[in-house]
Amino acid sequence: MEAIVGVPLTPSRFLAVLAGCVTESFDVTRAARHGSLLTIETLDARVHIVRAGAGWRVKAGETPALLVEFGTGPGALPGELWLWSRGGPGPQASLHVTVADPEFNPTVPARLFQVPAGAAAATPMTLEELRATAPWRNRGLVPID
């Protein structure tokens, strides 16, 4: 993810963010209420939740590497989210994701997991080569500082 869009996300963290959780840990180390906002700290993140009807929903989150803000969406899942990288020696970047047509628990066709026929002719590339040709670099864009 970092090589393509400039935001440092591992696959497991990206899944946690897309699921509206931010944290990968279930171990709560601290919690505090600030008016209508409840802040929960875990071993790897700080998550801010707000009352939504009879339940709660994640409003924002923080990890050492990124900040996340969620927009409202259908049901319990966010309709959009914003990610900003933070800290670290490299440049800062942001990513905005919008959910256009949510589908919950669909049946995924097996053909989606088959390697395309043209993949056999692909030339291997290093992560450094991928970073050098990242789409945001080719469009003249640079991550935000």
Predicted confidence at residue 20, as pLDDT, reads: 84
Residue 24 covered by a domain: yes
Question: Do the Cβ atoms of 83 and 67 come closer than 8 Å?
Answer: yes
Residue 74 covered by a domain: yes
d(CA 118, CA 69): 38
Predicted confidence at residue 133, as pLDDT, reads: 76
Residue 111 covered by a domain: no
Predicted confidence at residue 141, as pLDDT, reads: 46
Encoded tokens for 56 = 């709660």
**pTM of this structure:** 0.72
Predicted confidence at residue 62, as pLDDT, reads: 94
DSSP string, 64-93: SSEEEEEE--STTS-SEEEEEE-SSSS---
The residue behind tokens 């991550």 is 143
Residue 6 structural domain: 2-99+119-138
Contacts (Cβ under 8 Å, ≥6 apart) of 23? 16, 42, 44, 45, 47, 61, 63
Report the SS3 class of residue 123: coil
d(CA 112, CA 116): 9
- In the chain, which residues have pLDDT < 70? 1-6, 8, 74-76, 87-91, 135-145
Residue 14 covered by a domain: yes
Predicted confidence at residue 89, as pLDDT, reads: 63
Residue 113 covered by a domain: no
Residue 79 covered by a domain: yes
Q: How many domains are there within the chain?
A: 1
Residue 91 covered by a domain: yes
Predicted confidence at residue 17, as pLDDT, reads: 87
Question: Do the Cβ atoms of 137 and 130 come closer than 8 Å?
Answer: no
